[in-house]
Structure 1
Amino acid sequence: MARAAWLSGAEPDDEDYQKFEEMLDQTESAQDFASRAKVAVQKLIQKVGFFGILACASIPNPLFDLAGFTCGHFLVPFWTCFGATLIGKAVIKMHIQKLFVIITFSKHIVEQMVSLIG
């Protein structure tokens, strides 16, 4: 949707869009975490491209949706965005989560937790 909006050429009159554009212009003065995170994701996608999308998709974070919108806004090709997302989510993130669950619920760790609670 962000790609279609950018390609349409229409000037958005949404107040949130105006605030976002102002925020991008004033990156040094951003004080709160949300503003700094939005700017950081935008810069990451612009500078690093595929590997930036891969990094956003590989770690569990709420900023991945913003990375997708940023890809559409800056006209990143679909297959670049989709490929990085597929590798990040289906390969890297899945293995990280699998190892976490295996280690956390291993017999040794569970027995230690039960003895601590008991």
Structure 2
Amino acid sequence: MLPLITRDELAAALKAGTVVVVDTMPVAYYAKEHLPAARNIPGFPYERAKEFTDEHAPRVLPDKSASIVVYCANVPCRNSELVGARLVELGYPDVRKYREGIEDWVAGGLPTESASG
């Protein structure tokens, strides 16, 4: 299980520029709405999360020493746990999970972005 980060901690880290955020939702969901400056590594369908992480991580997360936060839709969503665990296996030492996901972020009134700008 990945270490957790709260919404307030994540918001502060984003503001300070000290984390790289990874949206683990499917590409269409990422394009529609994601946390500011988030990068995308799809973690769904679950059985392809490892494959997608292996494929995207070298390009999306070239700095293995970066402080990384993964998230998906909400607490029941497993994408972020699967992608995050695989990132740790691939040698990323600092991976945390924003368990409550984008639904909590939006509920907190925090800004999001979309692929269309």
TM-score (norm 2): 0.30
**Greater C-alpha radius of gyration:** 1
Larger strand percent: 2
Larger helix percent: 1
TM-score (norm 1): 0.30
